[in-house]
Amino acid sequence: MISGALTVLAAYLLGSVPTGFLLYRWMSGEDIRRQGSGNIGATNVMRSGGKMAGILTLLMDALKGALAVFLARAVTADEGWAAAAAFFAVMGHCFPVFLRFRGGKGIATGCGAYAVLAPMPMLAALGVFVAVFALSRMVSLGSIAAGLALPAGIVWWRGEPALLISATAAVLLALSRHHENIRRILAGREHRIGGD
């Protein structure tokens, strides 16, 4: 029990590492929160610092989610704790202790975490993202659609209840972080990559 709880704490701290903030500060000397949308995630880093910066942020955010799950599995054989670690890594990214709890939206970190826990459902969710993004050119809409697809994929592949609860909670958290994007999508004002 104690070891499992410690893995959850470690997962939160891993998720809290603000990779986009640190990378953009290292590259430009500026605060990414004062650029573009003010978000510390890969999309805003890409718009403000270029494609390479965005790709590196995406990979590092995904890596910290994956590491949180690998660490939990190394400490305990209980997959319930691994599922909890995945959620708390996403929570850490969204509410990082190192940035006064003002973080990103959790999509890339969730991708890394749930790719380890549920590779086939995550692969299906990524397919949904690619399809929706190709049609809309909106990263946010693709992310929302992929998030909704993940729990459905877990049900389809008969994942464990703890995994389904964890993924559903993470998706709801990520969706709540997209509330402004959802408003802009409904109003027809959301930013499009390669568009207006």
Model confidence at 81, in pLDDT bands (50, 70, 90)? very high
Cα 116 from Cα 162, distance rounded (Å): 15
- In 57-155, beta strands by DSSP E: none
CA dist 103 and 124 (Å) reads 27
pTM of the full predicted structure?
0.93
pLDDT on residue 194 = 65
C-alpha dihedral, 74 to 75 to 76 to 81, nearest 10°? -90
Tell me the CA distances in angstroms from 195 to 19, 124, 137, 189, 192, one per residue in order: 27, 26, 7, 12, 5
Report pLDDT for 36.
Answer: 87
